[in-house]
Amino acid sequence: MSDQKVILDIKDLKVHFSIAAKSAWPWSKPSQLKAVDGVNARLYEGETLGVVGESGCGKSTFARAIIGLVEATEGEVVWLGQDLTRMKDAQRRNTRKDIQMIFQDPLASLNPRMTVGDIIAEPLKTFYPELSKEEVKQRVKQMMDRVGLLPNVINRYPHEFSGGQCQRIGIARALILRPKMIICDEPVSALDVSIQAQVVNLLKEIQKELGLSLVFIAHDLSVVKHISDRVMVMYLGHAVELGTSEKLFSNPLHPYTKALMSAVPIPDPELERAKKIDMLEGDLPSPINPPSGCVFRTRCPIATAECAQTKPTIKGSDTHSVSCLHVEA
């Protein structure tokens, strides 16, 4: 990785939300919900960083903090040498054409009152107002054709399309400015399996063509393995393991990662019946009142008394690192 250019460097990123106390006393202090609590990660030029973890682990908040949809409480989000968290709105606006986002719900992310052509053209009109109507229309039609949409549907509305087609519209909108990075927030979770494969393959093709960098968030580990160069595993707002896709899937180190991997279905009935699943005991703790020390210790099969006293830090290299007192990368 040392010979690749770092385009995004996330340092000790924290996103905390104040939750009003459920008390009759007006002087009661609000609680702090620690959605993201000290995550470090790098994204290299042209690579895909997969982000996985169960619901509530902070994946989407992490993604939204990068692009500025939620405000970072602490830490740095360094984009091409500039810290986005310290930029004023006018400065941040100039970077937005280089950083785009594809959302989880393809239909909800599209304005129902706008035609497909207007939805895809909106970023062009915002950042390149000097373009004529004909130039905008031609660029929109070219992008629609590239993502697999017929140009003759340019005047239709989002409700007239399937979920897969709506996601292609969202991809076209994200790509129309030719960005350097796209954050994909569970872009295939609402789609059928066959459509998922088409969308993932489309993203891979376009990434290769344009040299895009992707942050790809998903629950499905098989999808993440297929598209990602490196993978970050999150638990309760923390990164517990980070490594290349090959190393992480062939040799998971953290107990939480091992549990996630063991739950991935195997497309062989005999192997599927024979495999051992590492079941996690207990429920996911509340991010308002996380466990002391290691946040995973209440569900960890190898936890000791030391884990309650000492908070582990993620150690290793970009190719493989882990946050555990009893495991080394």
Note whether residue 107 is domain-resident: no
Note whether residue 90 is domain-resident: yes
Count the domains in the chain.
2
**Average pLDDT by consecutive 10-residue portion of the chain (329 residues)?**
83 91 70 92 95 91 92 94 87 86 88 95 93 94 93 93 91 94 89 84 92 92 90 95 94 93 77 74 85 93 93 91 91
Residue 58 region, left (φ>0) first, then alpha (ψ -120 to 50), else beta?
left
> 293 and 149: one domain?
no
**pTM to 2 decimals?**
0.91
> 203 and 292: one domain?
yes
> 89 and 155: one domain?
no
> 235 and 311: one domain?
yes
> 246 and 229: one domain?
yes
Give the three-state DSSP class for 328.
coil
CA-CA-CA-CA torsion sign (81, 86, 90, 95): positive
pLDDT value at residue 279: 74
> 137 and 221: one domain?
no
Note whether residue 103 is domain-resident: no
pLDDT value at residue 1: 59
pLDDT value at residue 25: 66
> 162 and 184: one domain?
no
> 168 and 311: one domain?
no
Q: Which domain holds residue 148?
A: 113-178
* Pairwise CA distance, residues 204 & 23, whole Å: 51
Residues 6+ apart with CB under 8 A from 301: 255, 278
Note whether residue 329 is domain-resident: no
pLDDT value at residue 107: 85
Note whether residue 202 is domain-resident: yes
> 266 and 318: one domain?
yes
